[in-house]
A and B are shown apart, each in its own frame.
Chain A
Amino acid sequence: MIVEEHDVLHDVRPEETQPILRYTLRERVMHWLTGFTYLYLMATGMALFTPHLYWLAAVFGGGPTIRFWHPWVGLVFTAAMIWMYAVWRDEMRTIPEDREWNRKVKLYIENRDEELPPIGRFNPGQKQFYWVMLFGTILLLLSGIVMWFPEYVPFGIRGVRPIAVMLHEIGALVTIGAFIIHVYMGLLVVPGGFRAIVHGYVSRGWAKTHHRLWYNRIVGSGSAER
């Protein structure tokens, strides 16, 4: 099943020294669409979340401007997330190998990756991040719509308005927490990860180190074909 999914990787070059295409152009566009929109949403959201960051509003054109764009960008983000859901939904399902990895996640945190079981294209942490962001998006979208048009909330259920704000804040805080870890991991903890999501390619060593099952599948299948 996964193999079929990755038939798109037909241009992987068989040479062992050649880098491996980890993210297709479509995936990279998709990722950065969510990434940049989320960054904007986070920054503008934080501006409205706390007075101490309201200066961020000025960075993005001022309070009324961010109030105008935040919901629209939120819609773009949501659309990108839907796209991402369509594309990665199956790859993000937990596979049996993940369970042990999850149990030993402490080893991963302590960089004792050697002691962890091999994993597929996405490690369970990445998968959790994916699902957190996905459900977070749903929560943020629903509460965001209420916040976008609070004037249409009937007076009888006016209590919905502050609840929506609360849910939006919770959704934001949770996704921001996840997002911090994601960025930290991608930028600092896993060298080459950022390059991968920018250029698409990873070294064979990188692939084998961090996603051995995936590596094996790619390389193995590629060899088999030849």
Chain B
Amino acid sequence: MPTAALEIKAISAHPGPVPGKGAKRNEGDGVCKLIDVTTCIGCKACEVACLEWNGYPFHETKFDNTYQTMPDLQWNYYNLIRFNEHEFADGSFGLLMRKDQCMHCADPGCLRACPADGAIVQYSNGIVDFQQEYCIGCQYCVSGCPFNIPKFNSMTKKVHKCTLCSDRVAVGLEPACIKSCPTGCLHFGTKDDMKALAETRAAQLREQTAHTNAGVYDPPGVGGTQVMYVLHDIRNPEAYGGLPANPTIPLMVRLWKGPVKWLGGLAISLGLVGVVAHFLRFGPKEAHPIEEVHRP
């Protein structure tokens, strides 16, 4: 959703300076959604709110031995609670319920990987948003994302993901999922505030409950995220439906969007310069007339 009220900080595949970056005073750390999974009750109100706000159609689902609505996110299902039965290290049993959606990384792998100018933008408030009209459907973003979030619509050849309700946020509303959450396990505010809230809650869990390894998930590998989790056991995020322990933008993506790009460009440029230089130095190979050929 392009939104005039939002200032753009980073644009995919954009040469030169990004309009909006640094244009506003005190960008701060942007907005942030905090998901306290220890108070999530898996009611799926967020799933419904997301579907309703975005106006997406209903999906035909199938019972799959779980409460989870569907196995994975879909291009028109941005938001999915992942249910996992889990035994904690102390032998206690847990039903882990984690709302899975775009993490809105500070260093977004999708945006880095994207080859289409303007198809992915990062607003100064930290929201990473796909601009479908510029999307070319190459799905590099899928490769670039360490959380396996962007999903491809094979009919329109566009990739979609959670927008953190950039359209709502732009007009001062909280995202739809936040609005719908009945227990308040979803919080929304500035990153600084959410960090403080998350750390306080994690400390409370460590001190007051059996979750002595509770912690805040704000992975540094992607520069931190605008969506954070409070987890019962920060040592084992994988248990929450494959939340990566240390997500990073894949090496390959960093290579082909980094050194390979520059080295390749350099090589091609050098090649062009080389042939020009060669021509200037040596010029063309003239064919000899046939008589001269015979001349010894």
Contacts and interface: CB of A to CB of B under 8 A. Distances in A.
A and B pair up: yes
Interface of A: 16, 47-52, 54, 57, 63-64, 66-68, 109-111, 113, 147, 150-151, 155, 158-159, 161-163, 165-166, 169-170, 173, 176-177, 180-181, 184, 188-192, 203-206, 208-210
B210 interface: no
Interface of B: 13-15, 72, 113, 115-117, 119, 134-140, 142-144, 148, 152, 154, 157, 250, 252-253, 255-256, 260-261, 264-265, 267-268, 271-272, 275, 278-279, 282-290, 292-293
A51 B138 contact: no
B293 A67 contact: no
B264 A173 contact: yes
Contact of B152 (A52, A151, A190, A210): A151
B287 A210 contact: yes
A208 B290 contact: yes
Contacts of A57: 116-117, 136
Given A166-B252, A209-B285, 8 more contacts: A52-B15, A64-B136, A111-B285, A169-B260, A180-B275, A184-B279, A208-B288, A209-B288
Given A173-B268, A204-B290, A162 B252 contact: yes
Contacts of B265: 49-50, 52
A51 B13 contact: yes
A54 B139 contact: no
Nearest to A162: B252
Contact of B148 (A52, A54, A158): A158
B287 A161 contact: no
A162 B286 contact: no
Contacts of B140: 165
A110 B117 CA distance: 43
B154 A110 contact: no
A204 B292 CA distance: 11
What 6 pairs between A and B have smallest CB-CB spacing? A162-B252, A67-B136, A206-B287, A63-B136, A48-B115, A184-B275
Contact of A109 (B72, B136, B272, B282): B282
A5 to B, nearest CB: 24
A190 B157 contact: no
Contacts of A189: 278-279, 282, 284-285
